[in-house]
Amino acid sequence: MSHLLRRVQAVVFDLDDTLLDWSRQTDWLSNISGSHIQNVYDYLAENGNSLPTNDVLFQNYQEAIIHSWREAKKTWAGVNFESVLMCAFETSGLDVSKIDMGAVLLAYDWGTVPNVTLFDDTVPVLDSLRQQGYKIGLVTNSMMPMWMRDIELREYGILDYFDARITSGDTGHMKPHPAIYERVLDLLEVEAETAVFVGDRPANDIAGANAVGLTSVWMNPPHLSYELGDVIPDYEITTLQELLPILAALENR
Which is nearer to Mg ion, 68 or 220 (by Cβ)? 220
State the CB neighbour count (10 A cutoff) for residue 223. 11
Q: Which is nearer to Mg ion, 65 or 206 (CB)?
A: 206
Q: What is the closest distance, in whole angstroms, from the C-beta atom of residue 242 to Mg ion in the complex?
A: 17
Q: Which residue from 12, 13, 17, 20 is in contact with Mg ion, where contact means CB under 5 A?
A: 17
Q: What is the DSSP string of 199-219?
A: ES-IIIIIHHHHHHTPEEEEE
Among 12, 16, 163, 215, binds Mg ion (CB under 5 A): 16
Smallest distance from Mg ion to CB 222, Å: 15
Residue 196 DSSP label: E
Using CB atoms within 10 A of its CB, is residue 7 exposed (0-12), middle (13-18) or buried (19+)? Answer: middle
Asked if residue 99 lies in contact with residue 92, where contact means CB atoms within 8 angstroms, the answer is: no
Q: Which is nearer to Mg ion, 43 or 81 (CB)?
A: 81
CA–CA dist 43, 32 (Å, integer): 19
CA-nearest of 41, 236, 17 to 122 is 17
Which lies closer to Mg ion via its Cβ, residue 43 or residue 162?
162
Cβ at position 226, least distance to Mg ion in Å: 10
Q: CB-based contacts of 239: which residues, under 8 Å, 6+ apart?
A: 119, 121, 221
Told to check if 170 binds Mg ion by CB under 5 A, we report no
CB 199 → Mg ion: shortest distance, Å?
A: 6
The site string for Mg ion over 59-88 (x = CB under 5 A, - otherwise) reads ------------------------------
Q: Which of residues 184-243 bind Mg ion (CB under 5 A)?
A: 200
Minimum CB–partner distance for residue 200 and Mg ion (Å): 4
What does the DSSP 8-state code read for residue 79? P
Q: Which range of residues in 14-22, 99-107, 129-137, 228-236 is near Mg ion by CB under 5 A?
A: 14-22
Complex with Mg ion: residue 21 or 163, whichever CB lies closer? 21
3-state secondary structure of 173: strand
How many residues interact with Mg ion (rule CB under 5 A)?
4
Which residues on adjacent β-strands are paired with residue 135? Answer: 10
**Single-letter amino acid code for the residue at 50:** S
Give the burial class of 63: count Cβ atoms within 10 A of its Cβ; 0-12 exposed, 13-18 middle, 19 or more buried.
middle
* Sole window of 15-23, 80-88, 155-163, 220-228 interacting with Mg ion (rule: CB under 5 A): 15-23
> Which parts of this chain interact with Mg ion (CB under 5 A)?
14, 16-17, 200
